[in-house]
Structure 1
Amino acid sequence: MRMKDRSIGPGRREVVAAGLAWAGAAMADARIAASREPLFDSHAHLVSPDTIRYPQVPADAPGATANLPGMGFRQFGTARPVPGAEAMAGWMKQKGVDGLAAIQKRGAYGLDNRYILDSAAHYPHLFFPVVILDAQDDATPGTVRDLAARGLAGVRLTGVMASDGGFPWLASDRALRLWDTAAKTGLVMEIMTNPFGHPVEALPVYVDLALRFPGVPIVIDHLNWPDAHGAPDFGLDAPLRALAARPNIFFKFTTINMDKLQDAGISSAAFLAHAVGLFGAGRILWGSDMGNTPGSYAELIGRARASAGHLPMAARRAVFHDNGRRLFTRRAGV
């Protein structure tokens, strides 16, 4: 009797199982590789534990953190460690963060920028200071020139729409003198129109400034506070999309955005992938918002890495490291 041929190779079930095992191992390897990629934190607030040397503004002062309106969405971190310079340096080393933009915390220090400047002087290859100044003060351009000679990375402007519908803190004649100084000194200009200050109405002003100062990198904090929506536009609507045509405008994606999305039940990874597809991987910068958003630094780093899950390696590297490092260290030569 003739025997039926029987394969001595693996059967279909074995092949499928092996394929699934390989795919799972590959995904695990990718996650491990991503967890080891270096980070540059483009948005962290340093706060001194020494309140005698670096006193904070009174709680009832205009612009103080305790005196600001609520965020309007839940925040999911719980810990609130004090991000002093020494502590931050240690946390960064533990988590593979090789530098950060030290953003002045106006709600804590107002326009007194001494702490971030002193911290940057002590850790010149780690912290790159971004100060907040009054753009309508006649002395500000001279102050910026002096600070630029001492390693300043950028200037942050914050405010709300005026009663006449304008944004004088951004684009008045006096403010434009500051922009001209930034252009001549190679500084980054960072903008945060407060979420209660009509940020959508400020978008045409951003475009005008980008056209007027094409050599100045303009960084928009928190992607200008988009509403938390899902597909297809994820809240990045037509007025914001119009900024894609201006190559010197960049956008920060921060834990504030992640909290807002999580509160609405929307995937941060899906949102970020959409934003990268819209603006390009070279124009989005990750920032932890440490010192403002609740959470330990390890927790904020973990959430950041999770939000990168839909990005290919090159885009992930750009958003979470290269873009921020290129912009905020370009004057430091590191």
Structure 2
Amino acid sequence: MYVVDAHCHVISDDVTRYPRAPIGGKQSEWAVSRPVTADAMAARMDEAGIGQGVLVQATTAYGYDNSYVLDSTRKRPDRFVAVGTFDPLRPDAASALEAATGDGGLAGVRLFTSGSTVPVQGEWFAAPEAFAFWEKAGEVDVPVCLQMRLGPATRQLHEVLERFPGVRVLLDHIGYPDIAASPADAGCTVAELARHPGLYLKLTHRNLERLRDAGKEAAAFLEPVVEAFGAGRIAWGSNLPAAEQSLPELLRLAEEVLADLPEQSREEIFAGTAQRLYPDLAQPTGPAASGAARSRT
């Protein structure tokens, strides 16, 4: 089975060419203690049997400076596409988005509204000042990854999806639903979001670890979510190196949790969804098509 990692982070070891400029002025612990360069990420992907990856900007290392993910993608276009962090409130957001995602640019953008160094959930992504950004995102058909937590800003998420139904939005880490408290309740909460056809889910270790710990009760989350969204709107991402495990371990975790799904559904989650969201991944060549992606059973 071909595998695409829809969510991994890279950080350069050249701090002169790529200076750190974390959002909020504070680097995340993982960005400091276990950074992974693009070359090292490619090597780890080879080890794990992963063909291609989506390099999602390490916002807690570089903030809005997307230089490294872009340069890494241009160096290895057969292996990577780049998703850069973007500020939808900037006065020139619409024109800047179009320029940033043009030929040779970003394959997608990310709005970082909450995270390890931004503990308070922001609601600014749904502010009127961001409407021009959302309109342009729909016009140029660029996927928008949304890093947020369900609960504090779920209403704002609904508002954006209803106002801009043509935009494809990927909910990073599925918005951190509280699977540990109740897989069934979390599953209902997430499944209800499926009424927005432009919303996609990014399934990472943040969710998979909770599902593994839930044992048989994991089905109470997975079944309604997969039924509501369909596997074609769910993509797996490792979240390496924010995740402490090795890449083979992270992939194995996902394979074990999703083992009971039909093969076609697993193919969608592990590759098909990401390839449709990011068309440059749909035609792998070179290492991505051969030795880098071993067959998995």
TM-score range, shorter chain: 0.7 to 0.9
Structure 1 counterpart of 2:87: 134
For the pair 1:213 / 2:177, whether they are aligned, the reply is no
Structure 1 counterpart of 2:123: 167
Q: Which amino acid aligns with 1:85?
A: A
Structure 2 counterpart of 1:183: 138
CA contact (8 A) 1:273 1:311 kept: no
1:1-334 counterparts in 2 under 5 A?
Answer: 37-57=1-21, 62-66=25-29, 82-149=35-102, 150-160=104-114, 167-168=123-124, 170-193=125-148, 195=149, 199-229=150-180, 233=184, 235-238=186-189, 240-262=190-212, 265-266=214-215, 270=219, 271-329=221-279
Note the C-alpha offset of 1:53. Answer: 2.0
Note the C-alpha offset of 1:109. Answer: 1.2
Aligned-residue CA RMSD (Å): 3.0
CA contact (8 A) 1:42 1:100 kept: yes
Number of residue pairs the alignment of both structures matches: 277
Q: Which amino acid aligns with 2:6?
A: S
Aligned-partner Cα distance in 1 for 2:274–2:195? 20
Aligned-partner Cα distance in 1 for 2:260–2:282? 32
Note the C-alpha offset of 1:298. Answer: 1.7
Note the C-alpha offset of 1:67. Answer: 11
Going from structure 1 to structure 2, the CA distance change for 1:267 and 1:112 (only over 3 Å counts) comes to farther
3-state secondary structure, aligned to 2:51: strand
Structure 1 counterpart of 2:294: none
Aligned-partner Cα distance in 2 for 1:268–1:293? 24
Aligned-partner Cα distance in 1 for 2:17–2:134? 31
Note the C-alpha offset of 1:225. Answer: 0.8
Aligned-partner Cα distance in 2 for 1:61–1:166? 13
Q: Which amino acid aligns with 1:98?
A: G
Note the C-alpha offset of 1:254. Answer: 0.2
Over residues 81-122 of structure 1, what are the superposed CA-to-partner deviations in whole Å (9 max), with x where a residue is unaligned? Answer: 542111112222333322221111111111111110110111
Q: What runs of 5+ residues in structure 2 fail to find an aligned partner?
A: 115-120, 285-297
Aligned-partner Cα distance in 2 for 1:114–1:330? 19
Over residues 148-199 of structure 1, what are the superposed CA-to-partner deviations in whole Å (9 max), with x where a residue is unaligned? Answer: 1123211111215xxxx9822x122221111122112110011111x4xxx3
TM-score normalised by L of structure 2: 0.82
CA contact (8 A) 1:120 1:127 kept: yes
- Greater Rg over alpha carbons, structure: 1
Aligned-partner Cα distance in 1 for 2:259–2:281? 32
Q: What runs of 5+ residues in structure 1 fail to find an aligned partner?
A: 1-36, 69-79
CA contact (8 A) 2:211 2:218 kept: no
TM-score normalised by L of structure 1: 0.74
CA contact (8 A) 1:234 1:274 kept: no
CA contact (8 A) 2:188 2:225 kept: no
3-state secondary structure, aligned to 1:236: helix
CA contact (8 A) 1:99 1:325 kept: no
Q: Which amino acid aligns with 1:99?
A: Q
CA contact (8 A) 1:61 1:67 kept: no
3-state secondary structure, aligned to 2:186: coil
Structure 2 counterpart of 1:21: none
Aligned-partner Cα distance in 1 for 2:163–2:178? 28
